[in-house]
Structure 1
């Protein structure tokens, strides 16, 4: 409903059936910041990775960057739908991100793999940490988290495979066929 106050100002009033609590807003903000940082770190890695299997990792980083940007946009738009103002400004991301820092120099492919996997698992950890609280308040937002967790952990597995040694890497695989 819009009421005219005078010729130049209007007051808009709506009554959504659901609005985010401060806790839900903070949880979604934390995930938005981590996803935004993942995108930025992915670009940093993409530009500065060198070494064996460079091209494959370079292209794999493009996938991660694209998914991180898409997920960040999805989370931010969900926040807006719940009347929360997202904040992914550079200073906010730098101050609030839970991801380990990425170097400002050239990075060998093996180190880039490890750093990228750490960043992916940091995003996954944030999504898993906030999941139950988000689900209790807003199952629709929790559904978004499910998709993010699924894809981020898939990407972590795929990137991590670059540095693994079959049956000797930590963590060890759970082998159900030997039980």
Structure 2
């Protein structure tokens, strides 16, 4: 069986791999939570929030693919299995059932703030270990911050 050798020293590979894995967990859970809200949304601003949630899902799915592929590139196996995400997520979870549009906007704003804070930690952890992974994380963070601003404006 072929394996991918890392272009990084072991210590840097470990630090970058842990940061990328944490980012992957956050992005997978964000995509799932945004879709859950999308399906159960109610309220006067249904259409706007419903469509905006799809933007979050698209962002999360693209970013998780980029993050996972970066992990493999540096010789780290990403783990996006549902059990891993469920066991390791640190994000607040949405209530079950119908969700009012104003509560969804506030909840998504909060989730994005949590993820952004965690991503800033991942950025710091990769500064010396792997500037290429850091650059990827910075780009994703910029998009998350843009979405945070847009959802916050709806809250």
Superposition TM-score tier, normalisation by shorter sequence: over 0.9
Divergent runs of 4+, >6 A: none
1:55 is matched with which residue? Answer: 47
Cα gap change, 1:108 to 1:86, in 2 (>3 Å): same
TM normalised by structure 2 equals: 0.92
Q: Offset of 1:138 from its aligned partner? A: 0.5
Cα RMSD (Å) = 1.6
Matched, 1:39 2:41: no
Task: Write the deviation string for residues 25-46 of structure 1: whole angstroms up to 9, x where unpaired.
Answer: 1111111000000000010000
Counterpart contact for 2:24–2:80, Cα < 8 Å: yes
Q: Rg larger in 1 or in 2? A: 1
**d(CA) in 2 for partners of 1:42 and 1:13?**
35
**d(CA) in 1 for partners of 2:86 and 2:132?**
28
**d(CA) in 2 for partners of 1:93 and 1:34?**
8
Counterpart contact for 2:5–2:75, Cα < 8 Å: no
Q: Offset of 1:13 from its aligned partner? A: 7.5
Q: Which piece of structure 1 moves more, 152-161 or 23-32?
A: 23-32
Counterpart contact for 2:15–2:129, Cα < 8 Å: no
**d(CA) in 1 for partners of 2:121 and 2:15?**
13
Cα gap change, 1:87 to 1:27, in 2 (>3 Å): same
**d(CA) in 1 for partners of 2:76 and 2:4?**
15
* Counterpart mapping for 1:12-161 below 5 A: 16-18=6-8, 20-161=12-153
The structure that is helix-richer by fraction is 2
Q: Offset of 1:14 from its aligned partner? A: 7.1
**d(CA) in 2 for partners of 1:121 and 1:45?**
17
Gaps of 5+ in 2: none
TM normalised by structure 1 equals: 0.81
